[in-house]
Amino acid sequence: MFEVLEDESGQTSAELLLVIGGMIVIAIFMLLMYKNYVTGLGNEVNNTDAKDLSNKISKLKDDFT
């Protein structure tokens, strides 16, 4: 009667698959969050740094002319 309860050979495999699946889900979520962070950072850098660089070049141009 208790022979079914003693056979746990597939339990370890199932638990390992659940752990690996959870890690994959977390990794995908973190990659998506990192992608959003980098995209937002890129827009901010492009807007502010490009304007600053353009202004500095214009000032240098004015100094030499």
* H-helix segments, the chain: 3-6, 9-64
Confidence (pLDDT) at 27 = 92
Domain map (residue ranges) of the chain: 29-65
pLDDT tens digits for 10-59?
Answer: 788 889 999 999 999 999 998 888 887 777 666 666 667 777 878 888 88
Give residue 2's pLDDT. Answer: 53
Q: What is the pLDDT of residue 31?
A: 84
Check residue 34 and give its pLDDT: 83
Residue 57 has a pLDDT of 84
Q: Identify the pLDDT of residue 51.
A: 78
Distances from the Cα of 1 to the Cα of 4, 6, 7, 54, angstroms: 7, 10, 12, 82
